[in-house]
Structures are given as C-alpha cells and as structure tokens.
Amino acid sequence: MEFIIPRGTQDILPGESERWQYIEEIVRGICHTHQYKEMRTPIFEHTELFSRGVGESTDIVQKEMYTFADKKNRSLTLRPEGTAPAVRSFVENKLFANPIQPTKLYYIGPMFRYERPQNGRYRQFYQFGIEAIGSSDPAIDAEVMALAMSVYRKAGLKNLKLVINSLGDKTSRHAHREALINHFEGRIGEFCGDCQKRLKQNPLRILDCKQDRDHELLKSAPSILDYLNDESKAYFAKVQQYLTNIGISFEIDPNLVRGLDYYNHTAFEIMSNAKGFGAITTLAGGGRYDGLTEEFGGPKAPGIGFAMSIERLLAALDAEDVKIAADQGIDCYIVTLGEQAKDYSVSLLHKLREAGISAEIDYEQKKMKGQFKSADRMHAKYIAILGEDELNQQKIKLKDAKTGEQQEILLDELIAFIKENS
C-alpha cells in the first residue's frame, strides 16, 4: 500500500517551517502591541455552531464542511473558520463579564474546507485571525483593518489593496434584500440551481456566486450603498475617516458581500496586486458581526474581526520575491577524532545546549573529513575539534568558519567564548 497525503493538504517541512515561524512571530508581536490575546478553541465543534453561525445558505455550510458523526452519533464538524468558535467561547466562558471591553482575541490554527484545491486554496489551511468582541466603536473597525495591513507590511509585502464596503444594519439589509429579489426574480431561471434557491433564502449570496459571476444582471444589481439608512451611512463614513486619519488607503467596492452570513456594517478584503500572483488574489477577509453573540444565546456584544491564511501570505511573499530568514545555522559543530573524544563530546554537546548554544555532533561515525562537511552544511559558526591530545590537556581547537582562523582554548572556557563571540 502506498501512503500519500490527502488532496488539498500540505506537509510543512524543515526549511519551510522556519518561514511559518517567522510569520507567526510577526503576528504575535503585532497582536501584543495591539493588545489582542491568544485563544485556542477545539479543532471540531458541534455542526450546528457553523450552520447557525456561518449561515445555512453559504457555500461553506452547503458544500464545504467536513462533517462526521462521533460514536454517540453526535454531528461534529472540523472548523471551517474561527469566528463562530471564538464567539461561542466568548459567550460560553462569559468573557463579556470582563470589565475591559472589547475582548480582543487572536488565533492561529488549521481550518478545513472541502474546496477544489488549487494554488492558494487548500482543504486544510492555517488561518491567523483576530476578533474584537464587545464594541461598536468605528475606531475598532479601523484598528482591525490596520492590524491586518501591519502584518502584511511587516512581513515585507508592498503590493496591497484594501477594499471595503458596508452591508449596513438590519433595516438597510432588509431594504436591499427586497430590492435584490425584485431585480433577479423575473429572470432567475437563467441562473444556476443554487442561485434559484438563494433568491428567497439569501439573495445577497447570488452576488458572489462563482458560477453566475458573469451574468449581466449582476452588474446592474442594486447596490447596498444606495440602501443604507442614515445611521449606517454615518457609521461607514466614520470608519473611512479613521482609516484616512491613520494613513491607510482603501477602495470602496459596493459588490463586496463576503461569503459568510454573519456580517453587517463594515466588510473588507485585502488583495495582493503583485504581478504573477495566482488567480486567487484575496489575502484576507473580515467584517463586523453585530448579532452573533445573541444568536449563540449571549448578551448583545457587537464584534468585528478578520482572518488571513498563512499559505496565501507566504505565496504573496514569493510573488513579490521577498526573501525571509530561512536556516540561520548553528553556533557550534564538534568534530571528534577517536572514541575517547567522541564519548567526551556527548556530554560536552549537552553542556553547550544547556547553555543556550545550538550545537551538533556526528551520529554516523563519519571520518573527520565527513564531519567537517556536515559542519559546513549546517552553517556552523564555530567548529570545535577534539582529539585525544586535546582532551588530555583539557583543551579544544576552535575554528571560526567565516575567517578560517583557528585557536586552542581551554575546554572550560568554550561555552563562555562561544557565547561572547556568536
């Protein structure tokens, strides 16, 4: 039997995993300065959390969830996204009772969607996401978007576009919904089966149908911006004002509706403009979800957040040819000659590591030449050479790999020397 990785998943191997760690470091640093704290929720949840939270009429719930029955026949689903779990946890753990609000959370972890795999689209992908729950201050909307942009910029991306829209409040959305039904109803027969169902269920979904995206009625569809009531208009204006004040440029796209049902007011996506970046240009998406805590049985606590996949961020870095630190090399490689020296090096190696020095030895009984080669491959800064003579004198030869200079130092001084000089 041949074992191969499931379609749409990836192994992140050494060499590549350093790039992931680098991005995660940036993310954690920026979350710290913005005071978002990490949360970790389960990989699977009760299916209903997503069907109710993300929305019955969405592609995610209709087509893309990994749903299974456990041994007691409960329906569970591998999380396709992080917002519904974050809000569930916020309500369940009564985080709303904390005197400091909004509750600012972030997560990094795998999400699962049964989608058609292609460049930038996987069945298991890692999302970094944030959620600020418990405030409807438009300043938080601007903060959330600014944080996403900071992550991309700090990682080294330049060709970015922030696109925003407002989906308005309940009243505005209702008025828009009626207008959409009127617009499509007469010719709904020309649309796919899914859209025919969407017409009454959630006509907004027709606007981001992958199959019917070129239909002429989509271009002439009523724009949500024409249906915003005064309150929603004022909210959207304030968000734009804050973005402008902090120096973040953006475009407004009235057709940006997002693929999840919980949104109202602010919706946004960040795209890559890089030439050579694949067909999928969306790097991140997010928006405001003011009714979700109540949907999950909690008190009113308006929220906003976004998520980005690490895979797409790394792909965008490749497209812009941004190189990020890969293997940094090790501090010291110990080359030994003879069994006595080898035996001694095992404990010396342990001492070096305990002192915080990255170090390695040979485990394949290689000759000295082979050991030097390994040291070179591992980009060792220092090569420590130990034979019986040195050992008898409690000394060790130390070669600086960069300059080629070699000196003899006391074994007792090795740790202090490397610490000082690397």
Q: Which residues bind ligand HAM (CB under 6 A)?
A: 81-83, 113, 115, 120-122, 125, 127, 129, 131, 259-260, 282-287, 305-309, 311-312
Judged by CB, which is closer to ligand HAM: 30, or 334? 30
For ligand HAM, give the closer residue by CB, 257 or 375.
Answer: 257
Nearest approach in angstroms of CB 263 to ligand HAM is 7
Query: For residues 55 and 82, which CB has a smaller minimum distance to ligand HAM in the complex?
Result: 82
Residue nearest to ligand HAM (CB): 305
Least distance between ligand HAM and beta carbon 122 (Å): 4
Q: Which residue has the tokens 């004022």?
A: 234
Helix, strand, or coil (residue 231)? helix
Of the candidates 381, 319, 314, the one whose C-alpha atom is nearest the C-alpha of residue 17 is 314
Query: Angle at Cα 8 formed by Cα 89 and Cα 151, nearest 5°?
Result: 55
- In whole angstroms, what is the distance from residue 72 CA to residue 70 CA? 5
**CB nearer to ligand HAM: pick between 284 and 361:** 284
Q: Is 262 exposed, middle or buried (0-12, 13-18, 19+ CB in 10 A)?
A: buried
Neighbour count for residue 237 (Cβ, 10 Å): 13
Asked if residue 359 lies in contact with residue 418, where contact means CB atoms within 8 angstroms, the answer is: no
Task: Name which of 312 and 399 has its Cβ closer to ligand HAM.
Answer: 312
The nearest distance, CB 317 to ligand HAM, in angstroms, is 14
In the complex, the smallest distance separating the C-beta of residue 308 from ligand HAM, rounded to whole angstroms, is 5
Question: What amino acid occupies position 178?
Answer: E
The helix/strand/coil state of 278 is coil
Q: Which is nearer to ligand HAM, 128 or 372 (CB)?
A: 128
Q: Tell me the C-alpha distance between 317 and 151, whole Å.
A: 12
> Which of residues 141 and 390 has its CB atom nearest to ligand HAM in the complex?
141
What is the rounded CA–CA span in Å between residue 170 and residue 191? Answer: 27
Least separation in angstroms between CB 312 and ligand HAM: 5
Q: How many CB atoms sit inside 10 A of residue 17's CB?
A: 12
- What does residue 418 show for φ and ψ, rounded to 5 degrees? -65, -40
